[in-house]
Amino acid sequence: MEQSWRQAKGLFLTLLSAPLFWLVVFFIAPLSIVWLYSFGQNDGLVDIAFTGTWSNYAHAFSPLYLNIFVKSFWIAGLTTFLCLVIGFPVALAITFASDKLKPWLLLLVMLPFMTNLLIRTYALIAVLRTKGLINMGLEMVHNSVNGMTGGALGVFEPLALLNNNFAVVFGLVFVNLPFMILPLYSALDRLDKSLLEASLDLGAGHIRTLFNVVIPMAGAGIASGILITFIPALGSYLTPDLLGGPDSQMIANVIESQFKRANNWPFGAALSFLLVYLTFIAIAVQGVLEARARKRVA
Amino acid sequence: MTTAIKPRKMPPAPLEYLRRWPIQAWLIGVTIFLYGPLLTLMVFSFNDSRSTTIWKGFTLKYYQKALTNESLITAFGNSLTIALCSTILSVIVGAMAAIVLWRFRFGGKTLFDGALAVPIVVPEICMGVGMLVFFAKVLPWPQGLPWPLNLGAIIIAHVSFSFPFVAVVVRARLASFNRELEEAAKDLGASDFRALMDVVIPHIKPSLIAGALLAFTLSLDDFVITFFTAGPDTVTFPVKVYSMVRFSVTPEVNAASTILIVVTVLLTFLALKFQGSDALTAGHGTEKK
Amino acid sequence: MTFPKIPASRRSILQGLGAAAMGISFGGLAGCEPAKKKLNFYNWDTYIGPTTLGDFEKATGTPVNMSLFASNDELFAKLKAGNSGFDVIVPSNDFVERMSQANLLMPLDHAKIPNLKNVDPAFLNPPYDPGRKFSMPYTWLVLGIGYNTKTMKDGKIPDSWKYVFDSDTYAKKIAWLSEAGDLVRLAAKYLGHSVNALDDKVLADVEALLTKQVKAGNILRFHSDDGQDLLAGGDVDVVIEYNGDIAQKKAEMPELDFVVPVEGSQFNADTLAIPVGAPMPDEAHAFINYLLDAKAGAAISTEIKYPTPNLAAKALMPDSYKNNPIIFPPAEALAKCEYAAFAGAEMAQKMEELITRVRAAAGMPAEEEA
Tens-place pLDDT, residues C176-203:
998 899 999 999 999 999 999 999 999 9
Is the CB of B80 less than 8 angstroms away from the CB of C21? yes
Residue type at A217?
M
Residue C4's pLDDT band, with cuts at 50, 70 and 90, is very low
Q: Does A258 touch chain C (CB under 8 A)?
A: yes
Q: What is the mean pLDDT of chain C?
A: 87
- Taking only the tens place, the pLDDT of each residue in C172-181 is 999 999 889 9
Is the CB of C352 less than 8 angstroms away from the CB of A258? yes
Q: Give the pLDDT of residue B274.
A: 61
Helix/strand/coil for C163: helix
Q: Which residues pair with C240 in a beta bridge?
A: C145
Q: Give the pLDDT of residue C276.
A: 94
Is the CB of C42 less than 8 angstroms away from the CB of B232? yes
Is the CB of B77 less than 8 angstroms away from the CB of C19? no
Measured in whole angstroms, the distance separating CA B94 from the mean position of its chain's CA atoms is 13
Measured CA to CA, the distance from residue C333 to residue C264 in angstroms comes to 7
End-to-end CA distance of chain C: 68
Residue type at C30?
A
For chain B, how big is the Rg over CA atoms in Å?
A: 23
Spans of chain A, pLDDT less than 50: none
pLDDT at C310 over 90: yes
Q: How many CB atoms sit inside 10 A of residue B107's CB?
A: 8
Q: In a mutagenesis test of the C interface, which of B170, B220, B243, B273 is the best target, namely the one with the most C β-carbons within 10 Å?
A: B243
pLDDT at C132 over 80: yes
Q: What is the mean pLDDT of chain A?
A: 85
pLDDT at C22 over 60: no
Measured CA to CA, the distance from residue B197 to residue B3 in angstroms comes to 25
Nearest to B184 by CA among B174, B202, B199: B199
Q: Give the pLDDT of residue B275.
A: 52
Residue type at C162?
K
Residue type at C319?
D
Is the CB of C356 less than 8 angstroms away from the CB of A247? no
pLDDT at C14 over 70: no
Q: Contacts of residue C26 in chain B, CB cutoff 8 Å?
A: 77
Q: Give the pLDDT of residue A131.
A: 82
Measured CA to CA, the distance from residue A195 to residue A210 in angstroms comes to 11
Of C211 and A283, which is predicted with more confidence?
Answer: C211
List all chains that touch chain B, counting a touch as 3 or more CB pairs closer than 8 Å: A, C
Q: Give the pLDDT of residue A298.
A: 61
End-to-end CA distance of chain B: 12
Measured CA to CA, the distance from residue B41 to residue B53 in angstroms comes to 9
Q: Give the pLDDT of residue A108.
A: 84
Q: Give the pLDDT of residue B268.
A: 67
- Taking only the tens place, the pLDDT of each residue in C37-71 is 889 999 988 899 989 999 999 999 999 999 998 88
Q: In a mutagenesis test of the A interface, which of B125, B228, B274 is the best target, namely the one with the most A β-carbons within 10 Å?
A: B125
What's the ipTM? 0.83
CA distance A154 to chain B (A): 24
Is the CB of A131 less than 8 angstroms away from the CB of C235? yes
As to burial, measured by CB atoms within 10 angstroms (0-12 exposed, 13-18 middle, 19+ buried), residue A97 is: buried
Q: Does C101 touch chain B (CB under 8 A)?
A: no
Nearest to A226 by CA among A284, A176, A293: A176
CA distance C92 to chain A (A): 13
Is the CB of A109 less than 8 angstroms away from the CB of B35? no
Is the CB of C179 less than 8 angstroms away from the CB of A261? yes
Of C5 and A157, which is predicted with more confidence?
Answer: A157
Q: Contacts of residue A158 in chain C, CB cutoff 8 Å?
A: none
Proportion of chain C above pLDDT 70, given as a percent: 89
Spans of chain B, pLDDT less than 50: 1-7, 276-289
pTM of this prediction? 0.84
